[in-house]
Chains A and B, each alone.
Chain A
C-alpha cells in the first residue's frame, strides 16, 4: 500500500510540477496575444462556455472525478499492516521489522516436529500462522505450535505482542 501511495504521489507530483510550469508559460504566452503553446486552453474555454452542466461531457468528467476520488479514498482507508512493531519501551525507541518477524515465526513453526511448512501474517493485534503437516492426525500440533510461537514472540520483547492464531492443515485437509 505504501508503494502504491509512493507511485501515485510521484506521478501526481510530476504532473503538478510540469502542469504548474506549463500554465505559467501559457499565461505569459497569452499575454503577448500568441496562440496557445502546449495546452489548448482556447478550445477548453470555448467548450466550457458552450456546454451546460447538464450536458453529457461534463457529466462524464464529474463521474470520472468521483471514481478517482473514491478509489483514492479507499486506498487511504484500507487497513495496512505495520512495517515494524514497536519493542517494549527503553532508553532508545526500537522496533522489529514485520517481515522479518513473520519469517522468524515461520522458522519457529517449522521447527516443531510434524510441521513441514508454514506461512505467517503479522498485524498490529494478531499473528496468523497456517502450518502444514504430513500427518493425518494434527490435533496435538496446534497447541504445540502456538506454544512455540508464543515463546518466540515473548523473547522478542514486543511492546504489544500480537495474539497468536494457529491453523494446522493435515494431509486429509489438502
Chain B
C-alpha cells in the first residue's frame, strides 16, 4: 500500500550501491597500480585537490556548508517518508456562498467503510483519503473466502463509491481497492 517510499528507497539504495561499488573499485584499482605506480604512491588527498580548495576557500567552504545543509534537509525528508502515512485529514466541500467549509475526512471515509461492511460476504472494511488533489480514496476490504470477489468489487464501485462521490460532490474521485481474503469465523489455519 505504501508504494512511493518503497520505490524511492529502492531507487536511492540502488544508486548508493553503485556509487559505493564505483568508489571502492576505483580506490582499490588505483592502490594496486592500475593507473600506474606513481599514482598508487600519491597521497589520498593530493596536492591538486588541496591547492584547489586553498585557492577558492572564499567560496568553497560557504558552498560546502550550504550543500551539507541541503543534504541534511534531504535526509530529514527521506526519514519522514519512512514514518509518515499519506493521509488527508480534511476535505474542502464546495459551497455556493462566501466562506469555507471543510469536512472531516475520517468521518466521510468511516461512512464509506460502513456502507461496504453491509455487503454480504464482507467481514470488514477500512477507507482513507490518501490525496485531495486529485481526491483519492484507498479502500481495504476483508471478504470471506467463499464470496464472489468480482461481485463485491462491482458493488463497491457501483454503489458505495458512487454514493461517496455523490455525497461529497467529488466527480473526479479516484479510488483503489485492496481485497484481503479472510476465513469465515470458526476455522483456523496455521
Contacts and interface: CB of A to CB of B under 8 A. Distances in A.
A88 B177 CA distance: 12
Nearest to B12: A9
Contact of B75 (A16, A49, A94, A103): A16
A6 B24 CA distance: 24
B13 A5 contact: yes
B33 A54 contact: yes
Contact of B40 (A52, A69, A94, A96): A52
Contact of B31 (A54, A64, A91): A54
B79 A24 contact: no
A73 B14 contact: yes
Interface in B168-190: 175-183, 187, 189-190
Nearest to B178: A95
Contacts of A62: 23-25, 27-28, 31
B4 interface: no
Contacts of B44: 48-49, 51-53, 58
B148 A155 contact: yes
B64 A65 contact: no
A90 B12 CA distance: 33
Interface string A100-112: 1101101110100
B6 to A, nearest CB: 5
A16 B71 contact: yes
B25 to A, nearest CB: 6
Bin the interface of chain B by size: 35 or more
Tell me if A's interface is mostly helix, strand, loop or mixed: helix
A97 B145 CA distance: 13
Contacts of B187: 107
Interface string B135-170: 000000010010011100110110001000000000
A104 B180 CA distance: 9
A16 B74 contact: yes
Contacts of A52: 31, 40-44
A53 B30 contact: yes
Contacts of B94: none
B75 A13 contact: yes
Nearest to B140: A97
Given A8-B13, A48-B44, A65-B23, 18 more contacts: A9-B9, A12-B13, A13-B78, A16-B72, A49-B43, A51-B43, A52-B44, A54-B41, A62-B23, A63-B24, A63-B28, A69-B20, A69-B24, A92-B157, A96-B179, A96-B180, A97-B181, A104-B145
10 contacts: A53-B27, A65-B21, A70-B17, A70-B21, A76-B14, A92-B156, A92-B177, A94-B176, A103-B181, A107-B145
Interface of B: 1, 5-6, 9-10, 12-14, 16-25, 27-28, 30-33, 39-45, 50, 61, 64-66, 68-76, 78-79, 81-83, 142, 145, 148-150, 153-154, 156-157, 161, 175-183, 187, 189-190
